[in-house]
Amino acid sequence: MNKLYFFLLMSLLSFFISCGDEIQKEEKKPTVQTKKDEVNDFIWSALNSWYYWQKDVPNLADNRFSDTEYLKFINSTKDHEGFFYNLLYRYGEKDRFSWVVDDVEKLMASFSGKQAATGLEYSLTSIENGNRILGLVNYIIPNSPADKAGLKRGDVFFKINGELLTQRNYRKLTEDNFTITVAQNFKIKNKVFTYDGEKKFHIKGEELQENPIHYSKIFKINGKKIAYLVFNAFQANYNDELNEKFGEFKAEGVTDLILDLRYNGGGSVNTALALGQMITGQFANRKYITLNYNDKHKASNSTGYLNKEIGLFEFEDGEMKSKGKELANSLHLNRVYVLTSHATASASELTITSLKPYIDVVQIGQKTYGKFVGSITLVDAPDKNINKAYTDFENRNKNHSYGMQPIVFAYFNSRNEVFVEGVEPDIKINFVDYLGNIKEFGNPSDPALAKALEQITGNKFRKASEKKLKLETWPVGDSKTLKKFGTEMYITDLSEFK
């Protein structure tokens, strides 16, 4: 009896122990993840649809993942920016221009000229075998912190926060709070930078609204009326003001135009189309620009034509909206003089190359930046219509604020030409050669403006004594090319392309 009792007791004990083991095994099973990371899901899906180089990125292929693998892939990281950049095609080499942001509303506002900034626009060049960097003030945004501090075009600075400007620290200039030191009475002696004094300027950024129509003037020389326009960004909400400015030129009977795009990093393709019409006028309904998308969006391949009417836009409720059209004030010119620098990019390059098949374009200055691709703003708004997918800003997913500005198209002029390495000038001017002699806008002795006026009138506008500096330099970049969206090209209104 005791043996039987003992046997039953041991059997029950073994049963409970084995059950406990099974329970423990079940508890140790990993939880199956079924919830998608919304941001990464949006990033992958939108790039899979729109990205210009989609077929060149293995991880963006339609059949790259099973459902389980895809879920694991998009949930593999919370680093949304890193996830985005890892999906780009040879990022930093082939694709230098795609961006992701965690605040799409700020991104949209920046396209209207509204952004947090110091108002200091500059170029950087390395000297002394690359050991040091000099900064040249290209222009100052009116009423900005830099303007109030007293900085002016042509100033040369060589320190940031009390330290010599070098490759190690120059990116501090992209921050919104810093101090720069300007050289006074500087000179180049034995190919070395020297100066007699210095002055510090402390600048703290604030929200600014920049008007891209920075400066204009009409010169009356030898019976010619020469319009000079400094145009610093292609912002569609200023199309009406730009057309008004060309109306003034037209009323004055302007015979020649000098278009200063040295500090214009680009912007709206729609504004570029409008500017082309304002400069010409005699080529209405002629092909101006062709846009080519990836294979999934071939139906979006389209052409922009010169048109007697230009589109007008306003920034409202967080996005750019159409407010109708108006007749372009066209100058009907057969030649235009364009001032360029290494920072002349995207929509500026479009203007130069798209005008060339129709009129003479005399380019003065430096080789341009070399950006012949563009983007649209993508938000988390899937749609069954592939050509509307991820573009509906108003009805986007509000659970997060991410947005993307990836490259989605390449563009060509009416001859199907493209200049991916940049556009070479007809007359070369290295602006660093004239440090200390860079004049305020409109001063006819400013090196580039003087050369353009000389080409038009035959007169000399610079003193023979103002010789080039004997200084070996290497370009580093400028305030437009060193920041996000500084060389952006995007479409404001697709309806203007057919």
More confident residue, 24 or 423: 423
Q: Which domain holds residue 129?
A: 115-209
Is 12's pLDDT higher than 80? no
Last residue of a domain, one of 173, 194, 209: 209
| pLDDT recorded at residue 471 | 66
Cβ atoms of residues 398 and 95 within 8 Å: no
| Any domain includes 38 | no
pLDDT for 85-98, tens place per residue? Answer: 999 999 988 998 99
Given this model, what pLDDT does residue 320 score? 86
CATH number, position 252: 3.90.226.10
- Supply the pLDDT for residue 27: 44
Residues sharing a CB contact under 8 Å with residue 96, sequence separation 6 or more, in sequence order? none
Rounded CA Rg of the chain? 29
Q: Tell me whether strands 156-160 and 177-184 are parallel, antiparallel or unpaired.
A: antiparallel
State the Cα–Cα distance between residues 385 and 387, nearest whole angstrom.
6
Mean pLDDT of the chain: 89
- Per-residue pLDDT for 8 more than 50? no
Q: What is the CATH number of the domain that holds 180?
A: 2.30.42.10
Q: Which residues, at least 6 apart from 183, have a Cβ–Cβ distance to it below 8 Å?
A: 156, 157, 158, 193, 195, 197, 198
**221 and 318 together in one domain:** yes
pLDDT digits (tens, 9 = 90+) for 122-142: 999 988 777 789 999 999 999
pLDDT of residue 23: 44
Residues 413 and 353 in one domain: yes
Do 298 and 367 reside in the same domain of the chain? Answer: yes
161 and 239 inside one domain: no
Burial of 168 (0-12, 13-18, 19+ CB in 10 A): exposed
Domain membership of residue 68 (yes or no) is no
pLDDT band at residue 14, thresholds of 50, 70 and 90? Answer: low
pLDDT (0 to 100) of residue 470: 64
Question: What are 364's strand-pairing partners?
Answer: 339, 427
Is 48 contained in some domain? no
Q: Identify the pLDDT of residue 436.
A: 78
- Total structural domains within the chain: 2
Q: 437 or 177: which carries more pLDDT confidence?
A: 177
Q: pLDDT-derived band of residue 187, with 50, 70 and 90 as boundaries?
A: confident
Amino acid in position 334: N
> Interhelix angle for 67-74 vs 38-50, to 10°?
110
Whether pLDDT at 244 is above 70: yes
pLDDT given for residue 185 in this prediction: 84
Is the per-residue pLDDT at 11 higher than 60?
no
